[in-house]
Amino acid sequence: MSLDRPPLPPFTLETAAQKVRLAEDGWNSRDPERVALAYTPDSRWRNRAEFVEGRAAIAEFLTRKWRRELEYRLIKELWAFRDNRIAVRFAYEWHDDSGSWFRSYGNENWEFDAHGLMRLRIASINDLPIAAGDRLFHWPQGRRPDDHPGLADLGL
């Protein structure tokens, strides 16, 4: 069984954009175990003010996240890349258990090992309360359809 998770670094514009879309698809699955497999066994994260290390901790973090952030829908967009690093900007919409909606905006810096697994993820995120009528992400749960606008198209 191959340890590689293509596309592999060093990234080109095409492969960096592909890596970003694959990450978006994984997160939109809301499957913590599946998502955790994209990271090295000792991957390190900073997510807001929380520090997470290792696949098991990543899966636990995501399980907690998606219990709290209901009807989660995410769009990621390539911002910059070089060698084995990618920077993305993203937005996601979700609601809490009281039905209050939010759009969370952020930036992530990623670093990959030679096998295409992410070994470092640094995320800065801000939450904006929104009215349900102001939502922009309206696809069924799961992968964002190819014809759904991206962040730039939505003016985000």
- Domain boundaries of the chain, sorted by first residue: 13-134
Burial class (CB in 10 A: 0-12, 13-18, 19+), 145: exposed
What is the DSSP secondary-structure string of 83-99?
TTEEEEEEEEEEE-TT-
Q: What is the pLDDT of residues 53-86, one digit of tens each?
A: 999 999 999 999 999 999 999 999 999 999 999 9
Q: The pTM is what?
A: 0.96
CATH class of 13-134: alpha beta
Q: What is the pLDDT of residues 3-61, one digit of tens each?
A: 899 999 999 999 999 999 999 999 999 999 999 999 999 999 999 999 999 999 999 99
pLDDT, position 2: 67
